[in-house]
Amino acid sequence: MGCMTQTENGASPVASVEEIQHGWHALTLRVAQLEAEKDALEQENKALRFLLERVIDHRQKSHGELVLLLTGLISKLPINDVGVIVSKLVEHNTHVNQVLAALVKGTAETDLPQPMVLRALEQTKRDLVAALKPTVEELIRLETPLETEMLRSLPERSELFFSPRVARANRCWVKGHVPRERIMKEFGEEALVFFQDVTTDPKLNPRPKPEEIALAFKPDFEALFAQHATLLPDKRMELLALYRKVQRSKSPSDPARAQKNAFLKLSFMLELLHYYQNQNTEAPDVLCAQRLPALIEQMVITGPRDDLEERLIVEAESLLAFVVNPDHRQMIVNNVGKGGGAGKTLRYVLALRAGKMPEWDELIEEFVKHLLPPRLDKAPPPESLAAVVRLVKPDLQRLVVLAVMESDRLPPEEAEALGRALGAQLGLKGVEVQKKTMENIPVEMERQMAWDKIKMLISERADPVAIAAGIRNRLHTRYDADEIKQSWITLIEADPISLIRVFCQLPYLADGTTDPVARAVMETYVSRLTHEKYAAAYHKVVNSLRNMFKANPDSPTLVTFMALVRWVDPAAANKLGADIGMSPPVS
């Protein structure tokens, strides 16, 4: 038993005194080296902690300054929005300070809380994956010719949608074809007698790859199928079912349309999910300006008819809700309907259903111009207009009707009659009274209301092109000294950068031509700007221009502003240039 225990334990022989003395020197050197390395690591850790504390302190101070800057910018928004946004900024700043303090003390959690934008993005990814499964099941239930196994694999492995095999299958389905590799795998080479090759061409594509060949059922498939009764004895029913599925998806029927819509929804979600998973390599412009708008348009536009269905528009809006970035969502809507027709109508409907108050006036004006194209022989029937206008928000329908009554695309009597008929179709009451009330508004009140809209555009920091267009439209509507004075007062109440940018856009119409009244208006602006009465506004503008000049002497905004001032008043341009510090022009 004792021998067995000694063998199992595997005890090593005891070292002799000579061996210990011989290795003692090396052991002491190794211990000393480890102690020196330990001291060096302690010093390095102290230095790294000091650097980390400095970085966190700098990050804390810079973030506080950023919050103060943002608070200053937000204070220029309408008073109703300021309180909520500032409170969110303060809450965010407090949260950041708490996390940074916890990092310094070493008590921060391993998984730091994600920013709200990232949390929304991750939640959207999960929602997209969850929405893929019912869409795939709907495609399978609708009995599309696509392979069931391939469809079921997409929710778990969405990247397969962009693989060559799935892309070929999708293209074949859209064209009513079937991939050759699928026929060979499911039915064998004997089934090729029922198909014709639509890929191989003696001149254009004489030797295609076998997996890239697409097949189409022969026009006399049913006769051939009955003639070759002995072929494919075990799979005849499956081949006949595939033929019927292909023919059903090619037909202009409601089931085929339902298949197409389900596939478009699946494509939209997979395209968007692929972008979210590969944002470092995928450009949003290509996705949001080309691929996704085309999917939205194909899903809602049912055919060459100009009528839109609210059910399909709601489905499109549910897809757009998956787009996290509002700018990307707006980009998709703006690129719908580039070909005109019903697609352009859809773009205006989507924009009005999602638009905000400052955008409504311009959108409604463009919408009415689209509904009433130029050179109309007669007014369109109010029933067709009502079918479209009914798709926008109820509180905007009245504004659309009023815009129709005031449209210049028809004679005043016909426009007013069309507006009354349209209001009756929509069930709106009091439209005529509202129009008469607007007509009976005193001139001063009407002027104030018009310029208040432009002030709202300026306060909302709208595009300078839109603000300049609003000023031009108002001056074309009523051109007199009081209107020009009011336009100048409206401009100098804005910040100097907005004044400069709007001034630069004022003379140019949408088609690139020059507004005929622009020079006279701008001469008035320049003479007022250089007058001692408006010295405060002049100093603000000069300071902004001087800062532009110091940052970039070739700034396009600066160059354009000075060129326009020289166009209307060379003496004023010389005075401005001298005050800015620019070199005098070469005579």
Q: Does one domain contain both 453 and 482?
A: yes
Is residue 136 situated within a structural domain?
Answer: no
Letter for the amino acid at 90? V
Which whole number is the average pLDDT over 43-58? 81
Residues 258 and 278 sit within 8 Å (Cβ to Cβ): no
- For the stretch 181-209, pLDDT in tens is 999 999 999 999 999 999 998 888 888 88
Label residue 349 exposed, middle or buried (CB < 10 Å: 0-12, 13-18, 19+): buried
161 pLDDT band, cuts 50/70/90, is: very high
Q: Does one domain contain both 425 and 543?
A: no
How far apart CA 423 and CA 386 sit, in angstroms, is 8
* β-strand pairing of 178-179 with 195-197: unpaired
Q: Does one domain contain both 435 and 472?
A: no
Which whole number is the average pLDDT over 472-499? 83
Q: Does one domain contain both 505 and 405?
A: no
Helix axes 443-459, 481-492, angle to 10 degrees: 30
91: tokens are 């809450």
For all residues of the chain together, what is the average pLDDT?
A: 83
Is residue 563 situated within a structural domain?
Answer: yes
482 pLDDT band, cuts 50/70/90, is: confident
Which residues face 195 on adjacent strands?
217
Q: Does one domain contain both 485 and 427?
A: no
Which of 412, 440, 468 represents a domain boundary (last residue)?
440
Q: Does one domain contain both 553 and 490?
A: yes
Q: Does one domain contain both 455 and 540?
A: yes
Q: Does one domain contain both 436 and 550?
A: no
Annotate 231-243 with DSSP letters as a single string: SSTTTHHHHHHHH
Higher pLDDT, 330 or 79: 330
Is residue 564 situated within a structural domain?
Answer: yes
**What integer pLDDT is reported at residue 74 of this predicted model?**
64
Query: The pTM is what?
Result: 0.63
Residues 193 and 160 sit within 8 Å (Cβ to Cβ): no
Which of 105, 140, 158 represents a domain boundary (last residue)?
105
Is residue 394 situated within a structural domain?
Answer: yes
Give the C-alpha distances (Å, rounded to integers) separating 486 from 100, 110, 405.
51, 60, 27
Q: Does one domain contain both 418 and 456?
A: no
Is residue 100 situated within a structural domain?
Answer: yes
**What integer pLDDT is reported at residue 433 of this predicted model?**
45
Residue 400 belongs to domain spanning: 355-440
Query: Which candidate, 298, 272, 301, places its Cα nearest to that of 287?
Result: 272
Q: Does one domain contain both 435 and 453?
A: no
Label residue 582 exposed, middle or buried (CB < 10 Å: 0-12, 13-18, 19+): middle
Residues 379 and 418 sit within 8 Å (Cβ to Cβ): yes
- For the stretch 82-111, pLDDT in tens is 666 667 777 777 777 777 777 777 665 555
Is residue 292 situated within a structural domain?
Answer: no
Give the C-alpha distances (Å, rounded to integers) separating 581 from 123, 532, 543, 565.
53, 20, 11, 16
Is residue 11 situated within a structural domain?
Answer: no
Which of 377, 407, 440 represents a domain boundary (last residue)?
440
pLDDT above 50 for 438 = no
Cβ neighbour number for residue 244 with a 10 Å cutoff:
12
Label residue 217 exposed, middle or buried (CB < 10 Å: 0-12, 13-18, 19+): buried
**What integer pLDDT is reported at residue 505 of this predicted model?**
87
- For the stretch 106-127, pLDDT in tens is 665 555 556 666 778 889 999 9
Higher pLDDT, 209 or 73: 209
Query: Which candidate, 16, 239, 277, 57, places its Cα nearest to that of 159?
Result: 277
Q: Which residues contact 93 (CB under 8 A, 6 or more apart)?
A: 63, 64, 67
**What integer pLDDT is reported at residue 81 of this predicted model?**
57
**What integer pLDDT is reported at residue 318 of this predicted model?**
94
- For the stretch 398-424, pLDDT in tens is 888 888 888 877 888 888 888 888 888
pLDDT above 50 for 578 = yes
Higher pLDDT, 432 or 380: 380
Which whole number is the average pLDDT over 431-455? 62
How far apart CA 20 and CA 17 sit, in angstroms, is 5
- For the stretch 536-575, pLDDT in tens is 889 988 998 888 888 888 888 888 899 889 888 889 888 8
Structural domains in the chain (count): 3
Is residue 477 situated within a structural domain?
Answer: yes
Residue whose structure tokens are 């795998």: 185
Q: Does one domain contain both 573 and 447?
A: yes
Q: Does one domain contain both 557 and 448?
A: yes
